[in-house]
Amino acid sequence: MAAHGLVHGPLGANCLHLCVDMQRLFAPGSPWAVPWLEKVLPAVEALCAHRPERTVFTRFVPPQRPGEAVGSWARYYQRWECVTGEALGPEAVRLVPILERFVPPAQVVDKSVYSPWTEGRLDALLAPAGVEALVISGGETDVCVLATALGAIDRGFRVILATDALCSSSDATHDALMELYTRRFSQQVEIARTEEVLAHWR
């Protein structure tokens, strides 16, 4: 099992904060409300405030109507028709209010699936920016954060998960994923609290 903390040393100018799907779509009152979102919001906000110009927000954008999805996503949105653009309106995909003030200089990358890597927008944004390390926050630990972290690992980024800035709808699978990250990805994933990240990101 990997030790917690920034075991590969401090963070520098080549680091970027990648904040995953902290949107109204997952805030209280939404069909997809994530209970912990409000609990982790202060830590996420602190990371954004520390380096807003080195922050990228991803946003999960459902189709306008269920019939616009393809493959197994079509079945998925037949089940979750209540979260389509037609049902919820454009406000749902916006960042939660307390984070919107960071854009700009923070940037936003929209995606239609769990991973922010498959549609090419994030790669195109990071390639010219000299990014080598990613601090990941947001939700959910066991869905979109998982897809984000695995894509970052595949691309050779140094990956730091800010443990107190991650949220999920399920305690059990959040805990299972945190154990997976530390046991199976110990050479490629570091686990650290926001306080430590901020103290060592110069």
Query: Phi, psi at residue 72, to the nearest 5°?
Result: -70, -20
Count of beta carbons in the 10 Å neighbourhood of residue 141: 28
pLDDT tier at 11, thresholds 50, 70, 90:
very high
pLDDT mean over 76-83: 94
CATH class of 15-62+93-199: alpha beta
Q: For residues 101-113, b (16+ Cβ closer than 10 Å) or e, as one string?
A: ebeeebbbbebee
Task: Describe the chain by its helix, strand, coil percentages, rounded to 5.
Answer: 45, 20, 35
pLDDT digits (tens, 9 = 90+) for 115-159: 999 999 999 999 888 999 999 999 999 999 999 999 999 999 999
Whether 66 has a pLDDT exceeding 60, the answer reads yes
Average per-residue pLDDT for the chain = 94
pTM over 0.85: yes
Is the pLDDT reported for residue 1 higher than 60? no
Chain Cα centroid distance, residue 86? 24
- Taking only the tens place, the pLDDT of each residue in 161-173 is 999 999 999 999 9
Question: Distance (Å, rounded) from C-alpha 117 to C-alpha 100?
Answer: 22
Task: Give the containing element (helix H, strand E) for 85.
Answer: helix 85-88
Question: How deeply is 127 buried, as exposed, middle or buried, from its count of CB atoms within 10 A (0-12, 13-18, 19+)?
Answer: exposed
Cα(165)–Cα(143) distance, integer angstroms: 15
Strands 55-60 and 158-167: unpaired
What value does the mean pLDDT take over residues 108-116?
A: 97
Q: Are strands 133-139 and 158-167 parallel, antiparallel or unpaired?
A: parallel
Mean pLDDT within 23-47: 96
186, pLDDT greater than 90 = no
Q: How confident is the model at residue 4 (pLDDT cuts 50, 70, 90)?
A: confident
In the prediction, which pLDDT does 88 show?
A: 92
Residue 177: pLDDT over 70? yes
